Amino acid sequence: MDGDTACAADAAPPTTLLAVPGCLLAVAVLALAGAASAETWSWFTEPFSVDVHMSNPDTGAMAGTIVVDAHAVRTEWRIAGTEQVTVAMPDGDSVRMWALLPDGSTQSFTLTGPDTHELLVHGYIAAVTEPEDPRHPCTRSPETHRCTFEADETVDGSVLERWRIEVDGRDGGAHGRWFWFDRGAGLVVKGLDDSGTELRYSGHRRGPVDQSAFEVP
């Protein structure tokens, strides 16, 4: 996920390091407030949950679970025997996020910037969205998101389609992510971004999800 836009946060000290699929955020601590959002994600197709393993050559590896519904995304990371939970909700052009950190503290912050909703797709909805889906960011915002099929590639014994997404950032440059799509299953099983962060998806579960997963303090 490109850091210039999707990883922007409100500028107010103190800050903490927070893991979100595809990046580590140095985010400002804000007061927790507000109820669950009534808005829905522009890219939402259906509820689902998926297990994910994220690894980066600089920050190491962690395992987690992502739960997606129309109005919220919950990400739970298991780090060195502890858990870090975030809940993200759409809020106009921004995204509100709540975090329960391993030390038991809770924090809240806002992600801002052009196409923030679509940029979050790279870490979340890409796990189940077909590249040709009309709600995919490359279809919705072709002026800023470009999808290119590169080649068939064998990964762990399965032949997958390797796709490249390029996204225009606020700095004027393009940021990219590759994802490996299993056409037969209709699932993305692997993602890789320009920073070297790799996401492996498994245990895809489609259908209604437990709404208690999205409760915030």
CATH tag for 3-31+46-205 (out of 2.40.50, 2.60.40, 2.50.20, 2.60.120): 2.50.20
CA distance 155 to 31: 44
Provide the pLDDT for residue 135. Answer: 67
Mean pLDDT for each 10-residue chunk of the chain (217 residues)? 39 40 39 54 82 88 90 86 86 86 83 68 63 70 79 94 80 78 87 88 88 80
Measure Cα distances from 76 to 64, 98, 186 in Å: 5, 12, 24
Domain spans of the chain, in order of start: 3-31+46-205
Per-residue exposure over 139-151, b if at least 16 CB sit within 10 Å of its own CB, e if not: ebbeebbbbeeee
- The per-residue pLDDT for 51 is 93
Please, are residues 51 and 202 in contact by the beta-carbon 8 Å criterion?
yes
pLDDT number for residue 200: 92
Amino acid code (one letter) for 214: F
How does strand 174-182 pair with strand 158-168? antiparallel
